[in-house]
Structure 1
């Protein structure tokens, strides 16, 4: 703890550099939120901020901070300081998450969402033990939900539906078309695209490129096919500064804004699942359509940034679980047997 919290001493210059100023934005924001609750002298804000700052990607820092604040609020509601938490409270929190409503009214948090929340809390306490802020991790023995590797809440689209969405975006606005084209043709995660700046457009051995920062902090240069590049250039015009995708005020386009916009586009395109449309559906389409087009699994895996080919294959298996479900065969036979005699429908 002494290495994390600056010592209060009259001998220390007031102009001395505070290492916490070098934290990423997500870590500094988390610390500020906790200082408002616990004050600047409590060790929790600094320990939590330092833990958040150690995460490699902005996406992970954001998710961990959000999940930590969920746990902190639960502990505080029971009158327990998070650094004083013990296993019984951690077990109670796991039960609370399993019974907590999700985004859809009447539904519960998915097992993966519960697992992610518990993993974030466990990660924090592993770090807290390491820096000697607490003696033991209260989440070390908490049971985690079993995750079905082949299940995903992401709904897929038929190729024809994807084409309708892209055509609608093209007719809607240049920014809409550029975004949807990139999401489908490159298959990136939405945070990877929104983190880009306009001056990051590159050129390498005949390819127009963009540098994506993948999950886990890895960097990868990806090529822009002509359709995506033309859509992007049409949107950008001569602009080569600021966020790659920005609002009318010049601010970076945010994920909530993109989710809302995609649902508007999907509704106009007549997509059945327009109300639940999200950017990951286009990544899903990129993977399944690439595999359908006989692109080698290794190439699709590499493009998707999956460290394990089994992750890429799961997209295919989930699709086939629907396409090849025996319910269709049984229903066809039943419909034939239930057809009235003399009915000669073709």
Structure 2
């Protein structure tokens, strides 16, 4: 078995380049984190870091680091080295995931569980290629069923969306610019926060920004007038640095945006203010465009979905609620009860 063991610093020549210096920040951070527990001679930090470094998008790298840390901690607390884990431990971890509350106090969604198990499997596929493990302990783990036509994201009514945007406009220029951008273009939040002010471009009459989609693919998108006006009012004369920054000038982070969006939602009186997230506005972009009879393929292309079924499921969820037969039965029952009450009175 080939072990990728970092050499002690005393053995490193000063004129020799360490390839790990070329890793993305997420990969180096994970390797350093693991080295605190396993030391420099254990192959795990280098293997895990190399696995993360292979991922094309920053979003995927961050997600893999987060999910791998959770799995590694579970294995370590079970007194089992991750490179020696077998199917029983992987099975136990799957059950652990299913019952561990998330930030909202509820068990994770089936999609979240499936993604965490898939990420763990991806690590072991990479480790197997390096001959660091013989098999993937997650290969035979039962995955939770994920309905391809179901979207767990809670939607809003058009007037609720407008109220949220109005509240953001009254709150601050940065809030208004972000919320209008998320709703009018339907991007993922990591695609927006990765942008720099210097990336604002111009193409045949359109002001554009280049989003980096899943897989690292670049896609220029037009910034519509309302979003552009909000963005210009926020940026002022600033032409460089992160597009969205904190008061101290650093890049705005996803957790900070989630928290701020819920503050705005509470102020706007949105029913799901405690669970709203940036993806809710992406959901609204899709459902509102489909409700306005924008062709499915245009909406699909705008949000970067490879499968139209992924786009359509947002619309199916809306129709499942709006057209549910329970409303018809409820109206009939209310009429009958009202007639009975009239007779008794």
- Alignment TM-score > 0.5, same fold: yes
Correspondence for 1:48: 48
How far apart, CA to CA, are the structure 2 residues paired with 1:146 and 1:276?
Answer: 23
1:100 aligns with 2:105: no
Query: Where in structure 1 are there 5+ consecutive unaligned residues?
Result: none
By how many angstroms is 1:340 displaced? 4.3
Correspondence for 1:128: 127
The aligned length equals 343
1:313 aligns with 2:312: yes
What secondary structure, in the 3-state scheme, does the structure 1 residue paired with 2:195 have? coil
Correspondence for 2:31: 31
- Which stretch has the larger CA shift, 216-225 or 10-19? 10-19
How far apart, CA to CA, are the structure 2 residues paired with 1:290 and 1:88?
Answer: 47
How far apart, CA to CA, are the structure 2 residues paired with 1:31 and 1:130?
Answer: 19
| Per-residue deviation, residues 134-168 of structure 1 (Å, max 9, x unmatched) | 11111111111110112222100011100111111
How far apart, CA to CA, are the structure 1 residues paired with 2:287 and 2:9?
Answer: 61
How far apart, CA to CA, are the structure 2 residues paired with 1:334 and 1:81?
Answer: 61
How far apart, CA to CA, are the structure 1 residues paired with 2:99 and 2:256?
Answer: 29
How far apart, CA to CA, are the structure 1 residues paired with 2:91 and 2:32?
Answer: 28
Q: Pairwise CA RMSD of aligned residues? A: 1.7
Label 1:67 to 1:12 Cα distance change in 2 as closer, same or farther (>3 A): closer
Q: Indicate if the aligned counterparts of 2:5 and 2:42 stay in contact, CA closer than 8 A.
A: no
The TM-score, its normalising length taken from structure 1, stands at 0.95
- Which stretch has the larger CA shift, 138-147 or 298-307? 138-147
| Per-residue deviation, residues 6-47 of structure 1 (Å, max 9, x unmatched) | 556987513411110111111111001000111111100000
The TM-score, its normalising length taken from structure 2, stands at 0.96
After the TM superposition, which residues 213-232 of structure 1 pair with which residues of structure 2 at under 5 Å, given as runs? 213-232=212-231
How far apart, CA to CA, are the structure 2 residues paired with 1:10 and 1:57?
Answer: 34
How far apart, CA to CA, are the structure 2 residues paired with 1:327 and 1:15?
Answer: 74
What secondary structure, in the 3-state scheme, does the structure 1 residue paired with 2:274 have? helix
Label 1:133 to 1:342 Cα distance change in 2 as closer, same or farther (>3 A): closer
| Per-residue deviation, residues 25-83 of structure 1 (Å, max 9, x unmatched) | 11111001000111111100000000011111111111111111111111111100000
Correspondence for 1:204: 203
Label 1:4 to 1:208 Cα distance change in 2 as closer, same or farther (>3 A): farther
| Per-residue deviation, residues 78-123 of structure 1 (Å, max 9, x unmatched) | 1000001111111111122122223332x32221111111111100
Correspondence for 1:62: 62
Q: Indicate if the aligned counterparts of 2:114 and 2:143 stay in contact, CA closer than 8 A.
A: yes
How far apart, CA to CA, are the structure 1 residues paired with 2:237 and 2:12?
Answer: 50
How far apart, CA to CA, are the structure 2 residues paired with 1:265 and 1:96?
Answer: 34
How far apart, CA to CA, are the structure 1 residues paired with 2:11 and 2:160?
Answer: 68
How far apart, CA to CA, are the structure 2 residues paired with 1:11 and 1:28?
Answer: 20
How far apart, CA to CA, are the structure 2 residues paired with 1:173 and 1:8?
Answer: 52
How far apart, CA to CA, are the structure 1 residues paired with 2:11 and 2:120?
Answer: 37
Correspondence for 2:243: 244
How far apart, CA to CA, are the structure 2 residues paired with 1:93 and 1:3?
Answer: 26
Query: Where in structure 2 are there 5+ consecutive unaligned residues?
Result: none
Correspondence for 2:77: 77
Q: Indicate if the aligned counterparts of 1:102 and 1:110 stay in contact, CA closer than 8 A.
A: no
